[in-house]
Chain A
Amino acid sequence: MSAALKVVRAGLFDTLQDLGRTGFMAFGMPTAGAMDRVALTLANALVSNPANTAGLEIGVMGPDLLVEADSVHVALVGPLSPALVEGPDTPPKPIESDRSHLLKRGQTLRLGMVEGSSTAYLAIAGGFALAPFMGSLSTYPRAGVGGFEGRKLAAGDALPLARDHAAPGDDRKLAAPFDYGRGPVRIVWGPQEEYFTDTGRRTFVEADYRVSKEADRMGIRFEGPAIEHAVSVAKGGADIISDGIAPGAIQVPGTGLPIVLLADRQTVGGYPKIATVASVDLPRLGRLLPGQTVRFRAVSVEDAEKLRREQEALLVRAIADFKVARPPGGIDLARLYEENLIDGVVFAHTKA
């Protein structure tokens, strides 16, 4: 029997995502990919996967997954309430997030609501045994491509796994929650900031904007004061000749209300874009929930690039600082080695 994770109960919006499908925007193909690149990267690192391995992006509420493999290491990143493991003969037991877990055949992972964020991630050691589409496993449901059958998961799906049993090794955990940064969301003006008045631009960076209910993988519509176009909307002030849409582009249609375009955004569009979210803060955007408010603050392209490099260094450090997660009552082998308690044995072996 081939290894699989079986969806016993579907969550609300669970899709397989990697870091995105690049190289085909010229054909109108959106990149899709994880809304929170940082969380997926951490989840993958916890189970020693390359960063671009597809994991399960959990939107709003997670699924119940039955392990149909001898054993598998999985990692959960993001707050899930509850997160339980249940055996065929053992009652549900809570498990921690931000760490990996060794699961055995017949166990069921029960994942509840994502709390305080719109997304959480589950990485599987070795990844899924699925064929990429246009070089990526990111699911893009509008075209029915990528991931598992091009759609969100449904009850009864059996997600084929690349490995049938877990590689030996301890479970690991984050030393501390990752620091996404606080304060205003950093933006870079452009590409069409001149389509707005000085007053309009000031409104955009001085007002609070609230995430509306229209927030999904394609983008977030914000509510707040309208941003003034330089030319009246009736005279075409909210129309441009369509151009390319970068991740985090903030378009302002005739309503004057900003829409931030995210993973599943269309490749080109005809509304003027006042600014673009700096890539360092895209993972924060990917976590926002309806009702939350943000403020925007402008930085230069150079500063945005620098901030992104600093975040990458933080991410590398967070991975280097992973701790061994000791199973309750179990022996922590790595810690024994670290503390040289069995050093003599190793030394004797080396000498002989």
Chain B
Amino acid sequence: MSVRYLSCGDTAFTVEFGNEISPEINGRVMALHAAIGRAREAGDLTGVVETVPTMRSLMVTYDPLAASRADLQPRIDMLIARGLPTGMASRRVTLPCCYDDAEFAPDLAEVAERTKKTVEQVIAAHLASPFKVYVLGFMPGLAYVAGLDRSLYLPRRAQPRVRVPRSSVAIAMDMTTIYPFESPGGWHLIGRTPLWMFDKRREQPVFLAPGDSLSFQRVDRKTFDRIAHDVEAGTFDWIKLVNAP
């Protein structure tokens, strides 16, 4: 599989692995992201500032005062030629989600009606979906999480909401997401997590990372409130959401 190098001025270039969304292509993107990270930790690739993985490409940013595109591109080519591991181990993350409150899930009934399911079947399909975090972007901590059960496929809402509450769990197309801030949004709201996807008090303010495998665990309103209290107080133990790969 060949890659294309796309110019992004004199401070970045994009390594494009394909023009479609597939787990295999994204696996190579994440593998190159990791390989460049390791090379930089070893003191190689001077001048590279950071890498930005997306569904099918990796943007490499650099300081033109410390390196040039002509230096860097062959080195990236070499990393790719050496072989990028596929099927890399990823973190497995489980997020609590409360579906059982009309305030949290205003679109659940409509989603059920449009997908010809019962509300419980919609929840079950969401819980059973093998989700994977592909990209974070649009706003800090907003994750594009693909892998939604195909039976729940719906386009975005025709009329986006002006205010979607923070931590809303939403679906659209073949994806799910969790809103890190209160913001406008056009996805279908089917639940809410008591967690904050962006918490500036934490050393690593963004919890999810590209490449994470993700699933949801259903919690009732009482459990939601208890976790929400701990998150608010900054005493919640985030580590227990992550299983070793």
A142 interface hit (Cβ, 8 Å): yes
Q: How far is the CA of A144 from the CA of B210 in the complex (A)?
A: 23
Contact residues in B for A134 (Cβ distance below 8 Å)? 205
Contact residues in B for A231 (Cβ distance below 8 Å)? none
User: Is there an interface contact between B61 and A28, defined as CB atoms closer than 8 Å?
Assistant: no
User: Is there an interface contact between B10 and A22, defined as CB atoms closer than 8 Å?
Assistant: no
Contact residues in B for A144 (Cβ distance below 8 Å)? 200
Given contacts A191-B14, A246-B11, A279-B64, A133 and B140 within 8 Å (CB-CB): no
B76 interface hit (Cβ, 8 Å): no
User: Is there an interface contact between A26 and B9, defined as CB atoms closer than 8 Å?
Assistant: no
A118 to chain B, nearest CB (A): 21
User: Is there an interface contact between A305 and B205, defined as CB atoms closer than 8 Å?
Assistant: no
Closest A residue to B137 by beta carbon equals: A268
Closest A residue to B52 by beta carbon equals: A244
User: Is there an interface contact between B206 and A188, defined as CB atoms closer than 8 Å?
Assistant: no
Partner of A188, one of B10, B65, B181, B198: B10
B59 interface hit (Cβ, 8 Å): yes
Q: How far is the CA of A277 from the CA of B7 in the complex (A)?
A: 11
User: Is there an interface contact between A244 and B59, defined as CB atoms closer than 8 Å?
Assistant: yes
Q: Which of A231-280 contact B (CB under 8 A)?
A: 241-249, 266-269, 273, 276-280
Contact residues in B for A266 (Cβ distance below 8 Å)? 137-139
A351 to chain B, nearest CB (A): 45
Closest A residue to B8 by beta carbon equals: A246
B155 to chain A, nearest CB (A): 14
Q: Which of B15-23, B100-108, B222-230, B235-243 contacts A (4 or more CB under 8 A)?
A: B15-23
Contact residues in B for A25 (Cβ distance below 8 Å)? 50, 52, 59, 61
B45 to chain A, nearest CB (A): 14
Q: Which of B9, B53, B61, B142 has the most CB of A within 10 A?
A: B9
A258 to chain B, nearest CB (A): 14
Q: How far is the CA of A17 from the CA of B116 in the complex (A)?
A: 52
**B 49-72 to A, binary, CB cutoff 8 A, 1 in contact else 0:** 111111111110100110011100
User: Is there an interface contact between B50 and A248, defined as CB atoms closer than 8 Å?
Assistant: no
Q: How far is the CA of A133 from the CA of B140 in the complex (A)?
A: 13
Q: How far is the CA of A87 from the CA of B212 in the complex (A)?
A: 58
B3 interface hit (Cβ, 8 Å): no
Interface size band for A: 35 or more
Given contacts A150-B200, A242-B54, A244-B54, A189 and B7 within 8 Å (CB-CB): yes
Contact residues in B for A245 (Cβ distance below 8 Å)? 59
Q: How far is the CA of A266 from the CA of B50 in the complex (A)?
A: 15
User: Is there an interface contact between B55 and A190, defined as CB atoms closer than 8 Å?
Assistant: no
User: Is there an interface contact between A312 and B65, defined as CB atoms closer than 8 Å?
Assistant: yes
B164 to chain A, nearest CB (A): 15
Given contacts A190-B8, A279-B9, A308-B65, A241 and B137 within 8 Å (CB-CB): no
B126 interface hit (Cβ, 8 Å): no
Contact residues in A for B8 (Cβ distance below 8 Å)? 188, 190-191, 244, 246, 249, 273, 276
Top 8 closest pairs, chain A to chain B, by CB: A244-B59, A276-B9, A191-B6, A268-B137, A304-B10, A190-B7, A246-B8, A246-B12
23 contacts between A and B (CB under 8 A): A24-B140, A26-B50, A26-B136, A27-B141, A28-B140, A28-B142, A28-B143, A134-B205, A188-B7, A190-B6, A191-B7, A191-B13, A242-B55, A247-B11, A247-B12, A248-B9, A249-B8, A268-B137, A278-B9, A279-B64, A305-B10, A305-B64, A308-B64
Other A-B pairs beyond A243-B54, A301-B10, 8, CB < 8 Å: A27-B141, A142-B181, A143-B200, A190-B6, A191-B14, A247-B12, A301-B7, A308-B65
Residues in chain B within 8 A of chain A (CB atoms)? 6-14, 16, 19-21, 33, 49-59, 61, 64-65, 68-70, 135-144, 181, 198, 200, 205-206, 209-210
